[in-house]
Structure 1
Amino acid sequence: MPHSIRGLTRETLIRPLVQISLDLTNNDEALRTAAIAVEAGADWIEVGTPLVLAEGLHAVRALRKEFPNHPLIVDLKTMDGGYLEAEMMGDAGADAVIVMGRAHDATIDRVIEAGDRFGMLVMGDDLGTTDRVAEAVRLEKLGVGMVIHHIGYDHRNQHPELKLSPLTDLEAIVAATTVPVQAVGGLSIDQAVSCPGIGAPVVVFGAPLAIDGESFSAADGDLLGVLTDACSRVHAAPISYPA
């Protein structure tokens, strides 16, 4: 399949997609896990932030070479130096990069400029913002092609009694925007499978399903079997947007 996803819209998202998040710390493990995920039916491959920190452009180039037809998402979590960071990843073969909503407007603008030049989808992450709906609207107005509604790992684990979940505000965010929306942060398989029905059809699987969230290594158990079943369920899920 062609891997360019820059022009993705809600209208062209005719079936749900699965993104595997490689929050790992070395290329060998990332390549092995990605191969399992692709065999299981994953559509997109994410170079997770730990892998970006550990292996950088080497990870992007290695995954691009091994999986030439799969969209490659790089979770840079860019906060400054937006053009240079995005340019480096685009030149290495990335199809999408992630900029933080808490970055200055100027940084988001510069990442979008690099996205234009290299044909990349720019994804805006609302991690850490207090008004999630307003942040999603701001990110779309600035020009991002997808909004990531993200409840962070540290935030969730510091307050387990709150049972924090991206599902809480997801419906309102989808209703307030017109670009594709993705929900990330501690979802169970059942919750992840429900996301297309709430209007967020690009479903991410990472920790703890595919990645151990404490050690940032591949999860134990029958990863191929679990992911194959999860991918099948996501692909069969109906997509529903608010009227």
Structure 2
Amino acid sequence: MATSSIRGITRATLTAPKVQISLDLTNVTEALETARVAVEAGADWIEVGTPLVLAEGLHAVRALRAEFPDHPLVVDLKTMDGGYLEAEMMGDAGADAVLVMGRAHDATIDRVVEAGEAFGMLVMGDDMGAADRVAECVRLEERGVGMIIHHVGFDHRNAHPELGLTPLTDLPGIVAATTVPVQAVGGLSMAQAVTCPGLGAPVVVFGAPLVIDGQAFSPANSDLLRVLTEACAAVHAAEIRYPARQLADS
């Protein structure tokens, strides 16, 4: 079971911005090496990215849990069915958080939430592909997820580069409509990512294409320690801002 639980995290308790390193890699060796650099640079949370889940599965979760027992470990399962079993397997391996898709059936979301309760994990709900992002995020919170992932997908962005798709477009509306912590993911530049806490999304993800090559899914920068150290420092220095109405109600 998880040893560094973030299950009960709320906007009220999330008082300082966090950096999450997304290990969108395809083997455990590179994942461990990259995670060591990220932790040295100041990363707070470690994510087992979907490519790593597919390539190495539970082996990657166990290896990262053993190496980093005090860092929250997020597993990006993108669960669409079999919700309890998938979450249970990752909880047994040491995951602190798992991710279910909003496009999944209500029953699947409910089962992942049940597994989160049983194994002390934070359940993250991903809105990727939803026609109405705000409504989807409200639904996910109503079904019991503890954190919203507002996500503009890799293929969607790459299919329409002329549109400049970014999660920052809908982020303020999603933060205003929900009360659980929100995270924005999808092709953000370093400068854009650092603005997320100021928009009410204080857990900032660095992965592809900033530190992971978005085509080869390998470490993208030979000077990774310097790049990540600067990025982590910028995020940690940012101010978290939630809607004034929510602050008044809290």
Same fold flag (TM > 0.5):
yes
Which consecutive unaligned segments of at least 5 residues does structure 1 have? none
CA distance in 1, matches of 2:124, 2:229: 26
CA distance in 2, matches of 1:3, 1:93: 9
Q: 1:4 Cα deviation (Å)?
A: 1.0
List per-residue Cα deviations over 1:150-205 (Å, max 9, x = no partner): 00010000000000000000000000000000000000011000000000000000
Whether 1:84 and 2:105 are equivalent positions in the alignment is: no
CA distance in 1, matches of 2:120, 2:221: 36
Q: 1:221 Cα deviation (Å)?
A: 2.7
The corresponding residue for 1:68 is 69
Which amino acid in the other structure matches residue 237 of structure 2? Answer: A
1:115-194 matches, within 5 Å, as: 115-194=116-195
Which amino acid in the other structure matches residue 217 of structure 1? Answer: S
The corresponding residue for 1:9 is 10
CA distance in 2, matches of 1:79, 1:51: 18
Q: 1:80 Cα deviation (Å)?
A: 0.1
Which amino acid in the other structure matches residue 206 of structure 2? Answer: F
List per-residue Cα deviations over 1:70-109 (Å, max 9, x = no partner): 0000000000000000000000000000000000000000
CA distance in 1, matches of 2:174, 2:147: 12
1:229-240 matches, within 5 Å, as: 229-240=230-241
Q: Structure 2 length as normaliser, TM-score?
A: 0.96
The 3-state SS of whatever aligns with 2:148 is strand
Q: Structure 1 length as normaliser, TM-score?
A: 0.99
CA distance in 1, matches of 2:174, 2:183: 10
The 3-state SS of whatever aligns with 1:124 is strand
CA distance in 2, matches of 1:22, 1:115: 22
The 3-state SS of whatever aligns with 1:19 is strand
List per-residue Cα deviations over 1:97-127 (Å, max 9, x = no partner): 0000000000000000000000000000000
The 3-state SS of whatever aligns with 2:71 is coil
The 3-state SS of whatever aligns with 1:149 is strand
What is the root-mean-square deviation in Å for CA atoms of aligned residues?
A: 0.6
Which aligned runs of 4 or more in structure 1 are off by greater than 3 angstroms? none
Which consecutive unaligned segments of at least 5 residues does structure 2 have? 245-250
Which amino acid in the other structure matches residue 24 of structure 2? Answer: D
The corresponding residue for 1:40 is 41
The corresponding residue for 2:205 is 204
The corresponding residue for 1:241 is 242
Q: 1:210 Cα deviation (Å)?
A: 1.1
CA distance in 1, matches of 2:192, 2:222: 21
